[in-house]
Amino acid sequence: MIRIYATIFAAIAGLAFGSFLNVCLTRWPLGESILKPRSHCRACGRTLAWWENIPVVSWIALRGRCRTCGAWIGWRYPLVELAVGLMWPIAVWKSNPTLWLFPSERVAFGIWIIGKLVFLWMAIALAVLDSEQLWLPDRITIPGAAVGFIFNFLYVAAHSPTVLAYYGALAVRSRLLWRFAWHRIAGILLAALLILLIRWTYKLIRKREGIGLGDAKLMAMLAAWLGLPGALLSFFIGVTLGALTALALLALPKPRTKKAGLPEEHPSESPAGAQSWALRKLPLGTFLCIGGIVSALWGQSILAAYLHWAGF
Ligand SMILES: [Zn+2]
């Protein structure tokens, strides 16, 4: 029962935090404050009524347009709200919230689940920023890596007493923590190094930039949260998705902008459409983030299924 209540609560909170994320995603690239002016229409500047700010519902009721000026609000708003509003309850449902009933597990469980929610929120934020702006801000990836390391370290520290109460030795516990710390830091460095090696190889062969440094910092962040196996799984999923998307875009017919008969050299101003995607660089960071989300939620089962299949 507690599992159902916790999941419903996570869904509602997820929609609200998704709505807040939309504000951040619109204002961060413009360097605006995310707190100061209340939510307003980006076209006519009218401050929105409370009922125009309800996640997903308002967008559907208004059919995606501003009530006064009719400006198109965009697909991103309901999609981001739905993304957080789905990923959060899935994470809570899978985390076995009944652990909360055991006082000895409470602290470790709290750290575990809050960490998962923070990670999912940041991964969705970076996925959208890279797809819309080709931008993976250092202000998110670097603190994100540090926070990921701290959350996991605290989880191991809070979790180990129950496991090690059996052994009772403090020395064992500190050795376990020390081992975790240096393993995780090595994983973070190796994950970033993987991207740097690809970057250098690409530069050497093609004589131009292929993968940005932002992707290396993103991989470091994924390794901080998910460990090296989780980061490698994210990388594998991300690269596969990216390759499939590139193939799909190549297979698409030429953009419709040509039909006027004019030689159209500039991509249309409307962002994030499939057409402008085809003309721009593919956002690897977006695919890595999607890989990271899949890996955070289903990584254990995927790796277990693979090992079973491979006969280990
Ligand atoms: Zn308006």
pLDDT along the chain (312 residues), means of 10: 94 98 95 92 93 94 94 96 98 88 86 97 98 94 98 87 59 82 97 96 86 95 97 97 92 61 43 47 93 96 91 80
* Cα of 52 from ligand 1 centre, angstroms: 12
Cβ count within 10 A of residue 103 = 7
**Ligand 1 centre distance from Cα of residue 212 (Å):** 36
User: Do both 107 and 89 map to the same domain?
Assistant: no
73 C-alpha to ligand 1 centroid (Å): 9
Find the 29 Cα to ligand 1 centroid distance in Å: 20
Structural domain tally of the chain?
A: 2
Q: pLDDT value at position 221?
A: 98
In-domain check, residue 145: yes
C-alpha 69 – ligand 1 centre gap (Å): 4
pLDDT at residue 160, as a whole number: 67
Is residue 56 in some structural domain?
A: yes
User: 42 alpha carbon to ligand 1 midpoint, in Å?
Assistant: 7
Q: What is the pLDDT of residue 267?
A: 43
Domain end among 94, 115, 138: 94
pLDDT value of position 208: 80
According to DSSP, the residues that pair with 40 across neighbouring strands are 47
pTM, whole model, 2 decimals? 0.89
Q: Which residues form the domain of 82? A: 1-94
Separation of 65 CA from ligand 1 center, angstroms? 8
pLDDT of residue 9: 97
Going from the Cα of 282 to the center of ligand 1, the distance in angstroms, rounded, reads 31
Domain co-membership, 123 together with 175: yes
Residue 162 has a pLDDT of 57
Answer for the pair 194, 185: CB distance below 8 angstroms, yes or no.
no
Distance 278 CA to ligand 1 centre (A): 30
Domain stop point among 49, 69, 94: 94
Task: Give 85 Cα–ligand 1 centroid separation in angstroms.
Answer: 26
Note whether 20 and 39 are same-domain residues: yes
Q: Are residues 134 and 200 in the same domain?
A: yes
pLDDT for position 85: 98
Q: State the residue for tokens 């998705």.
A: 241
